[in-house]
């Protein structure tokens, strides 16, 4: 972490970044109504957290690529325990911004562009957690945009089966995705 010259301890610094992102989610509807909204979404992370933080996060993601899966898994599990996040990490994580980011990554041009600038493994893992986040919204009745997960589930299954060889939890992801495919049925 010393290479990134953070102004404070990394835990406090990244907690502030996460909180800032949660408080300012991207546009997830009407993104293409005007060019300005599309550009804002394309540069969402850069706009919200700034150049230095964006570069630091890119550097960390590149260096810690092998840790991405367990880190995202742990964060996803922790989102089910907002009180723990509040007490241990000083994070206020409401379900709405998590849903918004899931929709952003799956269903907006800006979010898709962001993912396609990442390596395949990172893209697949983020897409997986976006899908399960929206599935949770479906089961709990707050999928306010009515996102149809079927095309995303099908596409991710195909991508993981053909290019997911380096994923540590590939079989668990595919088990969940096939369960979702069965539950949601086929597009018709």
Residue 168 has pLDDT above 80, yes or no: yes
Cα distance between residue 107 and residue 114, in whole Å: 12
More confident residue, 74 or 187: 74
More confident residue, 64 or 67: 67
In the chain, the percentage of residues whose pLDDT exceeds 70 is 95
Whole-number pLDDT of residue 126: 95
The count of other CB atoms within 10 Å of the CB of residue 51 is: 8
Chain mean pLDDT for the chain:
90
pLDDT digit string (tens) for 104-157? 999 999 999 999 988 899 999 999 999 999 999 999 998 999 999 999 999 999
Residue 142 phi, psi dihedral angles, 5° rounding: -125, 30
Cα distance between residue 141 and residue 99, in whole Å: 12
pLDDT digit string (tens) for 47-58? 999 998 888 888
Percentages of the chain per state (helix, strand, coil), in multiples of 5: 75, 0, 25
Q: Residue 132 has which token pair?
A: 């399960």
């Amino acid at each position: 972490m010393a290479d990134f010259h953070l102004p404070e301890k990394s835990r406090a610094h990244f907690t502030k970044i996460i909180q800032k992102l949660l408080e300012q989610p991207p546009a997830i509807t009407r993104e293409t109504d005007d060019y300005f909204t599309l550009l804002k979404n394309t540069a969402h992370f850069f706009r919200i957290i700034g150049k230095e933080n964006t570069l630091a996060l890119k550097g960390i993601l590149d260096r810690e690529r092998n840790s991405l899966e367990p880190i995202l898994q742990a964060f996803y599990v922790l989102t089910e325990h907002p009180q723990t996040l509040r007490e241990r990490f000083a994070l206020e994580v409401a379900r709405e911004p998590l849903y918004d980011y899931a929709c952003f990554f799956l269903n907006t041009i800006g979010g898709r562009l962001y993912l396609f600038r990442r390596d395949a493994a990172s893209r697949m893992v983020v897409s997986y957690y976006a899908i399960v986040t929206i599935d949770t919204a479906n089961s709990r009745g707050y999928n306010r945009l009515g996102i149809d997960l079927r095309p995303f589930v099908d596409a991710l299954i195909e991508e993981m089966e053909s290019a997911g060889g380096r994923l540590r939890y590939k079989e668990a992801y595919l088990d969940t995705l096939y369960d979702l495919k069965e539950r949601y049925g086929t597009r018709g």
